[in-house]
A and B are shown apart, each in its own frame.
Chain A
Amino acid sequence: MNHLLRSVAPVTDSGWELLDDEAKQRLTAALAARKLVDFAGPRGWTHSATNLGRSTAVDKAPCEGVTARQRRVLPLVELRADFAVSLSELQDHARGALDVDLDNLDGAAHQIALAENIAVFHGWKKTGIAGIAETSPHDAIPLGQSTDAYPHRVARAVELLLHSGIAGPYGLALGRDEFTNVVETAEHGGYPLLDHLRKILEGPIVWAPGVKGAVVVSLRGGDYLFESGQDLSIGYARHDEQSVHLYLEESFSFLVATPEAAVHLSAA
C-alpha cells in the first residue's frame, strides 16, 4: 500500500475501476497542456524537484581555501482536489446500476485539470512556475470579436514563430469561449473554421479550459517540459456512514526552455 491508502477504503475492485475510468475520461478531455508540451515521468511521489542545471555562488564556505555553489532546482507542486462519493451509489453500482452519481468526482477532475492548464499556460508565480503565455517575448495578438479574423490572427502567430526560427507543426490551445466560437463557425462557402485553422497550424486544436484567449505553441519538442512526480491518482482520505471521501492528486513542475516558441492570442 502506498500513501494513497486505496486498499483501506470501503471501495470494491469494481468500484475503484468505475472511479478510475470516470476520472481518466474526464481528465483526458480537459488536460490541454499535456496535449501540447513534452511530458517527462512520472518520477513518483518521492520526487521533489526538477533539476535546472543551474547553481548560485555561496558567499562563504565553511572554511578557507574552499569555494562553494548551491544547486538551483524547481520544486514540484502538489495539486489535490477533494471529493466525496455516496456509499449507497457505489453499492448500487455493485448491483449493476449504470447511472451512478459521480458528479463530485467530475467536478474535482475538471478543477484539477483547470489548475494544471492555468499553471502551464499562464504561470503560477508563488510556486516559481512560469507560464507559456507569460514568458513569450512576442507581443500578444488580440483575437478580436469576430471569428472572421481568427485565421488571419493564427496565421500571423505562425509567421511570428517562423520568423523566430521556431519550426512547426504548431498546436492551438483555445479557451472555452474561443473553442465554442471556432467549432460553431463555418466561413464563407461553408468551410469549417476548425479545418481552416488546422491547415494553417499543421497541428491539433485543443479545448483548453483555463486558457485566456488562445495560445499557438510549437510542437517540435524540447521547448516546454512538464515533469510529473506522481501522475494523477485517486487517493482515500476517510469515510463516514454516508460517503467515502477521496481526492485526486498529482505533483509536477513545468519549465519553459524556449520562451519564443509560443504566441499568446489575447481574449477579446
Chain B
Amino acid sequence: MGFDQYHEPPEELPAKTRTFARLCASLTEEAEAIGWYEQRLAVEQDPAAKAIMRDAQGEEFKHFSMDLEFLLRSTPTWREIAHGVLFQPGDIVEHGEEAEAEANEGGGSDGAAPDEDDSGSLGIGGLKGGVQ
C-alpha cells in the first residue's frame, strides 16, 4: 500500500509515530471490512455463505478491537476519553462531551501508559530501536 498512511515524510517521523500511524490505518481497514461484511450479509440468501461471512466478520471485530486497544494504550488522553464513552449505558454524545471535558481538565499527556489511571506517567516506555 506504499506510504499512504503518512501525512508527513516518513523519514522525519519517529518509529513510535510510524507504528501508531500503521495501526490507525489498520483500524480503518478493519472498520471498512466490518461494514462490507455487514452489507454482504444483508443481501446474501445462501445460509452457508452467510455463515462463512459472519465468521469472517467476527475475525474483523477481533482485529479492530486489538488495533483499538493498542492505540488506546499508546495514547493516554484517547484512552481516558474512551473510558468515559465505551460500554456506558445512556446518551453517547453526553458521555463523549463529559469524557472530553474531564480529559482536558486532567491535562492528559501523550506516550505509552496503559494503566487504568495513568495520569502522571512520563510515557517513556521502551527505547529499543530508538538509538543509533
Contacts and interface: CB of A to CB of B under 8 A. Distances in A.
Contacts of A233: 120-122
B4 to A, nearest CB: 28
A42 B120 contact: no
B112 to A, nearest CB: 7
B121 A38 contact: no
B128 A36 contact: yes
B26 interface: no
A7 B126 CA distance: 27
A31 B131 contact: no
Contacts, number: 88
A2 B128 contact: no
Contact of B126 (A38, A45, A219): A38
Interface in A1-20: 1-2, 4, 6-7, 13, 16-17, 20
Interface stretch (A77-85, A120-128, A223-231): A223-231
A235 interface: yes
B124 A231 contact: yes
Given A34-B126, A38-B126, A226-B126, A235 B116 contact: no
A76 B112 CA distance: 19
Nearest to A28: B124
Contact of B115 (A6, A23, A37, A230): A230
Given A2-B117, A13-B107, A16-B107, A231 B128 contact: no
Contacts of A34: 124-128
A41 interface: yes
Nearest to B117: A2
Given A35-B130, A35-B131, A206-B131, A27 B122 contact: yes
A231 B121 contact: yes
A250 to B, nearest CB: 9
Among B107, B119, B124, residue most surrounded by chain A Cβ atoms (within 10 Å)? B124
Contacts of B119: 1-2, 4, 6
A119 B132 CA distance: 23
Contacts of B34: none
A206 B128 CA distance: 11
Contacts of A28: 124, 127
Interface of B: 106-107, 109, 112-128, 130-132
